[in-house]
Amino acid sequence: MKNKVTIIIGLFLISISTLVAQDQAEMMKKWQESMTPGPMHQLLSAMVGEWNTETIMLDPSGSEMKSNGFSKTESILGGRYFLTTQSGSMMGMPFEGKGLDAYDNVTKEFVSVWIDNMGTGVTVMKGNYDEKTKTFNYTGESIDPMTGQLVKYRSVTKHENNDKIVFEMYTNQGGQEAKMFTMIYTRKK
């Protein structure tokens, strides 16, 4: 009887250790998949490089205000993230901003974080890529510093070709969407 109990306990322990090893192997596989850059990261890599920018803002009267600037995007952490540094002028003031773009393999969505010297808030937007129109479509929200109210944002980024990208930003307050600005990126040669 004692030998049967020992054999049963031994078989039980072997079964448990086999299951644990399989679970660990499956967990390791999922972790590897989550950390490996793939086709969506390759899409984001099209922004890598140096760009001249033209920003066209609309004031409340509908008049256009144009300004020029410079943008540089680099791939960081093995092609997992893309860091953009932007400079120029906006509304007659010096402008600096930084963005971090990524694709999250786990949530299957693009994520963009933006900060600049025109405020102290952080804008976080999430979205997807439309293969048919070759556009990135993002939505997000942040607090309007003038009203203290939550404002919804939407952006559309279209890669017209390897050397030209058009970025449009929209705001939505009280159910009314309005274009804030268009930024045209032209690759520096």
Residue ranges of the domains in the chain? Answer: 1-35, 39-187
The overall longest dimension of the chain from CA atoms, in Å, is: 93
128-138 CB burial, b ≥16 within 10 A, e <16: ebeeeeebbbb
The pLDDT tens digits of the residues spanning 94-111 come to: 999 999 999 999 999 999
This prediction has a pTM of 0.82
pLDDT score recorded for residue 19: 52
pLDDT at 188 over 70: yes
Please give the Cα distance from 167 to 186 (Å, whole number).
11
Residues in CB range of 84: below 8 A, 6 or more apart: 47, 71, 72, 73, 97, 98, 99, 100, 101
The pLDDT tens digits of the residues spanning 2-50 come to: 666 576 666 555 665 665 566 777 777 777 777 889 999 999 999 999 9
Highest CATH level, class, for 39-187: mainly beta
Instruction: Tell which residue, 81, 156, 75, has the closest CA to residue 113.
Output: 81
Q: Tokens standing for 58?
A: 């609309």
Report the DSSP pairing between strands 123-130 and 135-143. Answer: antiparallel
Half-sphere exposure of 77 (CA within 13 A, CB side): 12
The pLDDT tens digits of the residues spanning 114-132 come to: 999 988 889 999 999 999 9
Question: 10 Å Cβ neighbour count for 111?
Answer: 17
